[in-house]
Amino acid sequence: MPVLHNLVNNNELRERMLAETEPRTTVSFYKYFQIADPKAFRDALYIALRELKVFGRIYVAKEGINAQISVPASNFEALKTFLYGFDAALNNLRLNIALDDDGKSFWVLRLKVRDRIVADGIEDETFDASDVGKYLKAAEVNAMLDDPDAVFVDMRNHYEYEVGRFDQAMEIPADTFRDQLPMAVDMLQEQKDKKIVMYCTGGIRCEKASAWMKHNGFEDIYHIEGGIIEYTRRAREQGLPVRFKGKNFVFDERMGERISDDVLSQCHQCGEPCDTHVNCVNDGCHLLFIQCSSCAEKYEKCCSPLCMEEAKLSPEEQRTRRAGRENGNKIFNKSRGRLNMTLAIPLPDSDK
């Protein structure tokens, strides 16, 4: 029986990845379809992807698959051929190739079985996730942006929205996707007669959100095919204006893909224009926040003087300080004036 999980220390794996000379391609994909035996599906997938030297984070559930991975460039076509033949539902699967990629996004393959590929909190058994809104391609997105009867709805988290978005896009100010869904229904009640355009990073959240809006009586529902990633790629290929501004937050080590030169957010410490997300280097914090280079130097890549002090302690002293207190990665949410507890770099709402 082959080993179906990683046995090597994470630090060693990261060093191995950084020492690689062949470039890697970062790819994301998802598909809603019925998987009868997610565990067997996961195990067979793991064996094949390991042979192709794939790194990344993949979730499998009865409702489908959600993946963000990197693959050696020479293995990309083999990966595509494998996926298309692995299951009939994956034939011609859309693969979103990263826009701003140094190939250093992942260094280990993690493949997990979950209840849902996107945690949505929906318990209504009559809900049909496959009854989605109409897809919009790049040129259609640009036309909708100029349509006064269209409302663009951003189905991402605040830390994604603050560094990049479409002009006039509505933010749904909830901490998780499961909370956003009912909130979006409530917030858009007075605009039921308008064209509702939903978007997200790669399409997985806005596709399910479009189905939920239809389930709740909204009729003129659209979502951007492939999300921000595919929209930007196609617009550039077709010579169209790219109307998304700023950075597209991504859920790997890069934390962002530069789409335009616009900087829409500020350093959370000094308020200067900045859109660089970092994690506080204090192992007892790891806050996800925006920090400029000056503050990174001033605060030694920490989020506060307290974390600067704690990061300099011995490992034993750090453990003593952390004992008995709630610990975990946090996200700074300036719009609500508090710290929100969640994983620093999750797959989109997959573990909330």
Q: Output DSSP code: residue 75.
A: G
pLDDT bracket for residue 175 (50, 70, 90):
confident
In a domain, 260, yes or no: no
Q: What is the pLDDT of residue 8?
A: 58
Mean pLDDT of 344-348: 39
In a domain, 219, yes or no: yes
Question: Among 200, 274, 280, 295, which one carries the catalytic annotation?
Answer: 200
* Residue 20 pLDDT exceeds 90: no
Residue 124 CB-density burial (10 A; 0-12 exposed, 13-18 middle, 19+ buried): exposed
CB 305 within 8 A of CB 328: no
Mean pLDDT of 132-153: 96
* Residue 348 pLDDT exceeds 60: no
Strand partners, 247: 258
* Residue 82 pLDDT exceeds 50: yes
From 217, 246, 275, the end of a domain falls on: 246
In a domain, 124, yes or no: no
In this structure, the number of other CB atoms found within 10 A of the CB of residue 171 comes to: 18
Residue 200 designated active-site: yes
Same domain? 96 vs 37: yes
Same domain? 146 vs 242: yes
Same domain? 278 vs 184: no
* Residue 345 pLDDT exceeds 50: no
Q: What is the pLDDT of residue 343?
A: 33
pTM given for the model: 0.76
From 113, 148, 167, the end of a domain falls on: 113
Average of per-residue pLDDT values in the chain: 86
Q: At 38, which CATH number?
A: 3.30.70.100
Mean pLDDT of 15-21: 68
Same domain? 18 vs 92: yes
* Residue 313 pLDDT exceeds 60: yes
* Residue 322 pLDDT exceeds 90: no
**Structural domain tally of the chain?**
3
Residue whose structure tokens are 């004992």: 323
Q: What is the pLDDT of residue 333?
A: 52
Same domain? 145 vs 43: no
Q: What is the pLDDT of residue 21?
A: 73
Which of 102-116, 124-138, 252-266, 270-284 is least confident? Answer: 102-116
CB 135 within 8 A of CB 223: yes
Q: What is the pLDDT of residue 195?
A: 97
In a domain, 202, yes or no: yes
Coil vs helix vs strand at 281: coil
Same domain? 217 vs 147: yes
Q: What is the pLDDT of residues 195-217, one digit of tens each?
A: 999 999 988 899 999 999 999 99
Q: For residues 352 and 197, what is the distance between their CA atoms, to the nearest angstrom? A: 24
* Residue 134 pLDDT exceeds 70: yes
Same domain? 177 vs 213: yes
Q: For residues 229 and 225, what is the distance between their CA atoms, to the nearest angstrom? A: 9
From 246, 277, 295, the end of a domain falls on: 246
Question: Counting every residue, how long is the chain?
Answer: 352
- Which residue type is seen at 50? R
Q: At 194, which CATH number?
A: 3.40.250.10
In a domain, 289, yes or no: yes
Same domain? 108 vs 139: no
Same domain? 149 vs 224: yes
pLDDT bracket for residue 344 (50, 70, 90):
very low
In the sheet that 277-279 helps form, which strands lie side by side, from edge to edge? 277-279, 288-290, 330-333, 338-341
Q: What is the pLDDT of residue 350?
A: 43
- Which residue type is seen at 316? E
Mean pLDDT of 43-69: 93
Q: For residues 71 and 77, what is the distance between their CA atoms, to the nearest angstrom? A: 10
Q: What is the pLDDT of residue 335?
A: 41
pLDDT bracket for residue 225 (50, 70, 90):
very high
In a domain, 3, yes or no: no
- Where in the sequence is the domain holding 105, given as residue range(s)? 10-113
